[in-house]
Amino acid sequence: MALHQNASGSARPEPPNRRTVLAALGAGAALPLVAAGPAAAAGARPAPRTAADVIVSPAAERQLIRGFGGMNHTVWISDLTPEQRNTAFGNGEGQLGFTVLRIPVHEDRANWSREVATARRAIELGATVIASPWNPPAHMTETFVRGNQTNARRLRHDMYGAYAQHLNDFHQFMRNNGVELYAISVQNEPDYAHDWTWWTSGEMVRFLRENAGSIGTRVIAPESFQYVKSFSDPILNDAQALANTDILGAHLYGTQFQNFPYPLFRQRGAGKELWMTEVYYPNSSDSADLWPQALDVGEHVHRSLVDAEFQAYVWWYIRRGYGPMRENGTISKRGAGMAHFSKWVRPGHRRIEATAQPAPNVYTSAYKGDGSRLVVVAVNKGDAAVSQRFVLENTTRSSVLSWVTDAGRTLAAQPGPGLSGGSFTAVLPGRSITTYLLQ
């Protein structure tokens, strides 16, 4: 990883710069913002434009939602403070409501204890913890020539069994310290490993087929950096490798929206989970409070859930100037974009069928929880307000609560629109994200 200066001036490893470029490419797949028109006459406000109805069908269930969250890596940046842990994983006012924490499997066991405190607190607050390795212990690796890279690193083929035991040892260590891992990954970004350990898809399949069955928790693979299907296809096409894989994990750096769907997973992934385990979006160079650019996060989460049908959405660093939590420990605008999902779409909710794009620049999705709980999230990336009608099929719900984030408000509670005859109409402010809770 390239070294950059952090806020305190000390050098810290950061994600490779290529991600800024790749993420910008991914942003290019988004629909452009509607250009602002001529200024309205003084004192006059243009009437909201009307979109097609959003039809919400609670009976048409889609994927089970596992949660939303981010990464904590205490060797590369400082650990979250106790207060910041509460902000990340609590679900009160001014908190993100995250329900997934990702931590590293350090190659040096002396560093394992550094990840315990935040992971333990996350679990106390109801979160799921997953772990990913960047490198095996040094004695398990060898160098080789890969293109122009003369010191590329890979796991020695005679060390596959020992490496599986290394992952098991981390799982047991965390368990002994009050952290039950939900899953552990074979390798972080094996197909973009200039600064860590390379794997070919064939090596990944071999490890999954011959060694992953001995790992005592769920197994994540392959965590391709750009959701490269040619890397994960061989897993889906190998019965034994697939049997030993519990979660197909992917990163979305620069992945075009049209490449979000995965038909082969739909065909062969029955009984497996599909998680997006790392991204920042649209880049790591801008402040997380730059508006309306931060609104891109809302669309990115929407497309990850609706187009890709991921069950989890996990950011890179939880606390960073470009992340969901500012360095001072408060929620950023990008964080609010995630929180409009994470605070109300909780683990165990199911996405349900809803009109995904009722108008240009408007994106809507819906989810249901226990009982009569229903959540609708609407993103309006256009600069004009939209009058949006939501029609709920076969509903007995009677009240609507809502929260909005736009240029001047962040997760602000609003008077809920009236619900009558199974429908309600709400004005989506220009360049905003709104969550509606019906129960």
Structure tokens at 6: 């952090």
Which of 235, 245, 274 lies closest to 185 in space, CA to CA?
Answer: 245
Neighbouring CB atoms inside 10 A of 230's CB total 9
Residues constituting the chain = 439
**How far is the C-alpha of 292 from the C-alpha of 161, rounded, in Å?**
49
Cβ pair 140, 159 in contact under 8 A:
yes
Nearest 5 degrees, angle CA 184-CA 348-CA 415?
Answer: 130
> Three-class SS of residue 140?
helix
R_g of the chain computed on alpha carbons: 22
**How far is the C-alpha of 93 from the C-alpha of 324, rounded, in Å?**
15
**How far is the C-alpha of 26 from the C-alpha of 229, rounded, in Å?**
16
Q: What are the C-alpha distances in Å from 65 to residues 56, 264, 270, 285, 341?
A: 17, 20, 16, 30, 11
H-assigned helices in 349-432: none
> Three-class SS of residue 391?
strand
**How far is the C-alpha of 236 from the C-alpha of 268, rounded, in Å?**
6
Catalytic residue ranges: 189, 278
Query: Do strands 197-198 and 149-155 pair parallel, antiparallel, or not at all (unpaired)?
Result: parallel
**How far is the C-alpha of 422 from the C-alpha of 414, rounded, in Å?**
20
The one-letter amino acid code at 120 reads R
Which residue do the tokens 């050098």 mark? 11
> Three-class SS of residue 244?
coil
